[in-house]
A and B are shown apart, each in its own frame.
Chain A
Amino acid sequence: MEKTINLAKKSSDQVELYSLEQTQNTIRFEDKKLKDVQSLMLSGTCIRLLKDHKLGFAYTRSLDNREELVQHALESLRGGVAVKFDFPQTTNVPTLNTYDRAITQTTNTAIAEECRRISSFLEQKTKGQVNLHAGTTISRAKIVNTAGTDLSTSASQYSITIMLLYPGSATGIHKTFVFKAFQNVDDSDLTMLVDLYNQGDKESAASGGRMKVLFMPEAMYALIWRLQSATSGESLYHKQSPLVNRLGERVFNEKLTIADDPLDDAKPGARAFDDEGVACKKSVIIDKGVLKNYYYDLDYAAKLNVTPSGHGFKTSRWPGDTLSVKPSPALQYITFEKGEESFRRLIHEMDRGIIICGALGAHSGNIPNGDFSIGLSPGLYVENGEIAGRIKDSMIAGNIYEVMKRIIGIEDTIHPAYTGYYPAVLFEDINVATES
């Protein structure tokens, strides 16, 4: 890395190098069959140059030709992307427990055996088809810049997603478990999954209208994407946020507290610094319904003349190549504060309503405005506090700034799910369109 930095320094004021090494194994089990085993061994380097408040960026998967990498960055620099930030000098960050050496001892055979065990366990208790995605990831990221930052982090993760499919579709009940190293999923967790599935076994012809809706953790991302958009420094700067200049205002129900906590190393993937070398910290975004903080990377913090919050990550909503993108503001460690009601209690509070176990099409609709309109994949119909079955071909629609004011209750447990750690949340008066 030093040679590349020295080469780049000749033609620029400041240099940053970011490198990432990743090994990944993925295993897919479908309907009792091992469908696929794949491995990935990727490495890569990105460079950012600053000169006269202009930014140059380039990346490569191989440092065999560092001259070419620097050349691409210099050509990018000449393009004239204007910025106001400097690379930070970050020397003191907490040491986090992010890597479990046991991950190196986990074989694909052991993961496949665990998938087979889970598959057999579930098939004894339900008629539904069982699909599983499992795998390990080991990553090492390093960031060095000419301001004196030299930081690295290693992380390990084992994850498994269990899906129980309803007949006639690929929709069903699903849940993801994540750990720092391989471990078996508890039978009690599997039993809960089966219980929920079996209660939705029958198809129910519910009529639509406005009713109570329980968002499961697995569907919460449909709402959170809207909040992520509205609180990003990027959206504020480009006037794309309904939450601009509203810090301190109550925007959601007072039961709701949402934080971003990259330092919580009880969870896999914790980070002490972001992908720009800025120290990470816990940020409360929503405190008892009140908007408390926005989040920034170096670029948008400088443009808005505020302090960077350590949220500059190389990220992509879709399965893109994150190495190839520049850091941008990203909330990667969202955690809801847990509530006081058990999952069962929340269902009992629904005289008539829908449990949303998965969202279809959450990426469509007017995300900046907070609007959502999602297919239920699936939706379970609740009548008189009991799950009566699942409904087909249904949608719910609303706007998060109205819907998230109408919270009845929040589950007393948080669960890992896509985009964060969430409890189930019960809302009232949401518009549901059904087939009937």
Chain B
Amino acid sequence: MFEKMKSILMRVKADYADIRHEIKKETRIAFNGKELAEIGSNTTDGYVLRVLNRGGCSSVAFTSATDHEKAIRAAMENAQLMANFTAQPVVFAKTDIIKDKYCPKLREDPRNITIDEKLQLTKKYNSLILKNKFIATTNINYVELIREKHFVSTEGSEIKEELITTRVSGLITSRDGTLLQNVRVAAGGSNGFAILRNREDEFENKTRIAADLLKAEPIKGGRYNAIVNQSLGGVFTHEAFGHFSEADIIENNRSMRQKMQIGAQLGNEIVNITDDPTIPNQLGHYQYDDEGVVAQKTPLLKNGVLVGRLHSRRTAAAFDEPINGHSVAEDYRYAPIIRMGTIFIEPGRETFEELLETLGNGFYIIDAKGGQTSGENFTFGAQYGYVVNKGKIEKMVRDINISGNLYSTLRNIQAIGNDLKLSQVGGCGKGQTNIRSCYGTPHLLISNLVIGGA
């Protein structure tokens, strides 16, 4: 494959070019209620060509190798257009030339498991859920995605990396009369099929929550002190803070760039945030990004002070900051953009029980149900929660959405637990979908959260 890609690159008359070829192998099994809705495997592939010429950079994605001449022409024209319109020529930060092949260590390679075994495992978890009489239906999916990526650049890099992601996840819907409630359930990761085995507890627990939600009261909107669990804290860290650590998000936003200056005190001094794609056996693990740059652990917030940022080669040069290997594409249809790998708030000292005691009265809010940011404002849903009264967990509440401002929320993190937990499935939709987006925190005690109830 490298030779074929190099022969395409040889035809590009530019200051720099790289090409990525991906073979994407996907297996999907889906149950809707008790019915099998989908099963099958597919293999497909495509190319992304990037050129940098005379200070203009552009990319073209194409799926037919015979289109490569057309793709080169389009990429060169687009790069020329960029150069004509750009006062500040694009420069790529220097990176090491790498020739390597990398495949993460797996506990059971899903390619060695028959599709029938995958079907039986998915069916078992789905059946466990459907045993509960309050469950109206399910949407439970097995998804296995294998990306075989080849990267070649005119600088001489030649990298092959395999990214293998598996998960069993979906939605459990309970019903009582006309009232419908739902809860997400997930098990997965990027370190092999074994992580999907023996997960009955997870599916049974979420089934019980879905049924209990039918009796829960809607939360009343207002401002509250609350403990958020690791999943919800992770979504806050990813959505509200993480995206503003991505240089391509803030580079042309005057006010955000001013606020996100290295050295700025953004949060309470107990808050430390890091992104680290190098942690093995985690969903967000990779060795090289899609510009052929080695992934690096990147401290972002230390004692509440901004100390780092996530970069591509282009933004690292523009900001005059170090590259750290965070430029990642969803697949062969996209050029890479800046992405978090595994972002987390580092653990503090307090136990969960100590956090409850400090909270006194408020809410304990659990598990994320999607999130979104717009500038420094964020909104994300929670799957369920509990009233906390004098440090004790009491009745369940539902219909919880949290809205807030990044900076005031970072300042309002009053205490951090000692129980860091990272997510097993992801799905960040920053223009492209990154199913390996990994995040987490310990339990967090946050004051003055705006909660929009029903």
Residue ranges of A at the interface with B (Cβ–Cβ < 8 Å): 30-31, 33-44, 56-62, 68, 72-73, 75-76, 79-82, 108-109, 112, 116, 129, 131, 165-171, 208, 234, 238-240, 242, 318-321, 324, 326, 358, 360-366, 368-369, 371, 373-375, 377-378, 392-399, 431, 433-435
Partner among A321, A361, A374, A398 whose Cβ is within 8 Å of the Cβ of B333? A321
- The answer to whether B166 has its CB under 8 Å from any CB of chain A is no
A-B contact count (CB 8 A): 279
Whether A75 and B40, one on each chain, are in contact in the complex, defined by CB atoms closer than 8 angstroms, is: yes
The reply on B39 being an interface residue by CB < 8 A is yes
With beta carbons under 8 angstroms apart, the residue of A37, A39, A169 that contacts B375 is A169
* Most chain A Cβ neighbours within 10 Å, of B85, B86, B376: B85
For chain A, what secondary structure do more than half of its interface residues adopt (helix, strand, loop), or is it mixed? mixed
| Contact (Cβ within 8 A) B44 A79 | no
- Asked if B375 contacts A238 (CB within 8 A), the reply is no
Assuming the contacts A208-B221, A242-B180, asked whether A171 and B377 have C-beta atoms less than 8 A apart, the reply is yes
Q: Contact at B453–A373, with CB atoms within 8 Å?
A: yes
CB distance from A36 to the nearest CB of B (A): 8
Does B178 reach chain A (CB closer than 8 Å)?
Answer: yes
State whether B379 touches A360 (Cβ < 8 A). Answer: yes
Q: Cβ of B38 and Cβ of A57 under 8 Å apart?
A: yes
CA distance A73 to B41 in the complex (A): 8
Contact of B62 among A41, A108, A234, A377 (CB under 8 A): A41
Whether the pair A79, B39 counts as a contact (CB closer than 8 A) is yes
Within 8 A of A (CB), among B208-252: 221-223, 249, 251-252
Given known contacts A169-B375, A364-B380, A395-B452, A38 and B335 CB-to-CB distance under 8 angstroms: yes
Give which listed residue, A171, A240, A396, contacts B137 with CB less than 8 A. Answer: A240
In whole angstroms, how far apart are the Cα atoms of A233 and B377 in the complex? 36
**Contacts A79-B119, A240-B136: A368 and B182 contacting too (C-beta < 8 A)?**
yes
A81 CA to B29 CA in the complex, in Å? 10
| Contact present for B379 and A40 (CB under 8 Å) | no
Q: Contacts A41-B61, A129-B253 known; A435 to B136 CB distance under 8 Å? A: no
Q: Which 10 A-B pairs have the closest CB atoms?
A: A364-B381, A169-B375, A395-B452, A375-B379, A76-B40, A79-B39, A361-B379, A373-B401, A170-B375, A30-B252
Chain A CB within 8 A of B432 CB: yes
A40: chain B residues at CB < 8 Å are 60-62, 333
Closest to B33 in A: A238
Q: Are B374 and A433 in contact (CB under 8 A)?
A: no
Partner of A37 from the list B82, B175, B433 (CB cut-off 8 Å) is B82
Given known contacts A40-B61, A168-B255, A318-B427, A361 and B372 CB-to-CB distance under 8 angstroms: yes
By the criterion CB–CB under 8 Å, are B60 and A393 in contact? Answer: no
Bound-complex Cα distance A395 to B452 (A) = 6
CB contacts under 8 Å to A, within B121-175, are 136-137, 173, 175
Could you list some 18 contacts between A and B, CB below 8 A? A34-B86, A35-B252, A38-B58, A39-B71, A40-B333, A41-B67, A44-B63, A61-B46, A166-B375, A169-B255, A170-B375, A242-B180, A320-B433, A360-B379, A361-B381, A365-B369, A373-B452, A433-B403
From A131, which residue of chain B is reached at the shortest CB distance? Answer: B252
Binds A, one of B72-80, B195-203, B320-328: B72-80
Most chain B CB within 10 A, of A37, A116, A319, A393, is at A37
| Residues from 87 to 102 in B contacting A, C-beta threshold 8 Å | 87
Cβ contacts under 8 Å, A35 to chain B: 252
B69 to chain A, nearest CB (A): 11
B391 in the interface, Cβ–Cβ < 8 Å?
no
- A59 nearest in chain B by CB position: B42
- Evaluate contact between A170 and B450: CB separation under 8 angstroms: no
Q: Which residues of A contact B204 (CB under 8 A)?
A: none
From B45, B87, B331, give the contact of A62 (CB < 8 A). Answer: B45
- B64 close to A62 (CB less than 8 A): yes
The answer, among A167, A240, A320, for a CB contact under 8 Å with B180, is: A240
- B313-353 vs A, Cβ < 8 Å mask (1 yes, 0 no): 00000000000000000111101000000000000000000
Chain B's closest residue to A395 (CB) is B452
Bound-complex Cα distance A242 to B178 (A): 6
Check if B283 is an interface residue, CB within 8 A of chain A: no
Between B59, B256, B333, B379, the greatest number of chain A beta carbons within 10 A of the residue's beta carbon is seen for B379
Among B35, B36, B179, contact of A79 (Cβ-Cβ < 8 Å): B36
- Once the chains bind, are A167 and B255 in contact (CB under 8 Å)? yes
A414 to B45, CA, bound (A): 41
B59 cross-chain contacts in A, Cβ below 8 A: 38-39
Q: Does B181 contact A (CB under 8 A)?
A: yes
Complex Cα–Cα for A109 and B83 (A): 12
Give chain B residues whose Cβ lies under 8 Å from the Cβ of A166: 375
- Chain A residues near B194: list those with CB within 8 A: none
Q: Answer yes or no: B404 CB below 8 A from chain A CBs.
A: yes
Q: Is the beta-carbon distance between B38 and A81 smaller than 8 angstroms?
A: yes
Interface residue? B263 (CB, 8 A) = no
Across the interface, do B78 and A360 meet the contact criterion of CB distance under 8 Å?
no
A81 CA / B373 CA spacing, docked (Å): 39
Q: Please tell me if the beta carbons of A364 and B370 are within 8 angstroms of each other in the complex.
A: yes
**Given the contacts A242-B180, A318-B433, A396-B452, A364 and B137 also touching, CB distance less than 8 Å:** no
A-contacting residues, B411-445, CB 8 Å: 427, 429, 431-433
Q: Which of A37, A75, A129 contacts B58 (CB 8 A)?
A: A37
Task: Pick the contact of A394: B26, B71, B371, B450 (CB < 8 A).
Answer: B450
Contact present for A435 and B450 (CB under 8 Å): yes
Nearest CB of B to A376, in Å: 8
Question: In the complex, are the beta carbons of B404 and A393 less than 8 A apart?
Answer: yes
Docked CA distance A242–B136 (Å): 12
Question: CB distance B182 to A366 under 8 Å?
Answer: yes
Determine if B115 is an interface residue (Cβ-Cβ < 8 Å): yes
Separation of A57 and B254 alpha carbons in the complex (Å): 48
**Are the C-beta atoms of A41 and B70 separated by less than 8 Å?**
yes
The residue of chain A having its C-beta at the shortest distance from the C-beta of B26 within the complex is A324
A281 shortest CB reach to chain B, Å: 26
Decide: B42 and A60 in contact? CB cutoff 8 A: yes
Give the distance in Å from the alpha carbon of A227 to the alpha carbon of B408 in the complex.
35
Considering the complex, which residues of chain B in the window 265-290 have a beta carbon less than 8 Å from any beta carbon of chain A? none
Nearest-CB residue, chain B, relative to A45: B44
CB-based contact B81/A361 at 8 Å: no
Other A-B pairs beyond A35-B252, A39-B59, A59-B42, 20, CB < 8 Å = A36-B58, A38-B335, A39-B58, A39-B60, A56-B40, A61-B44, A61-B63, A61-B64, A62-B63, A129-B254, A169-B374, A360-B372, A364-B379, A364-B381, A374-B401, A378-B374, A394-B450, A395-B221, A397-B453, A431-B453
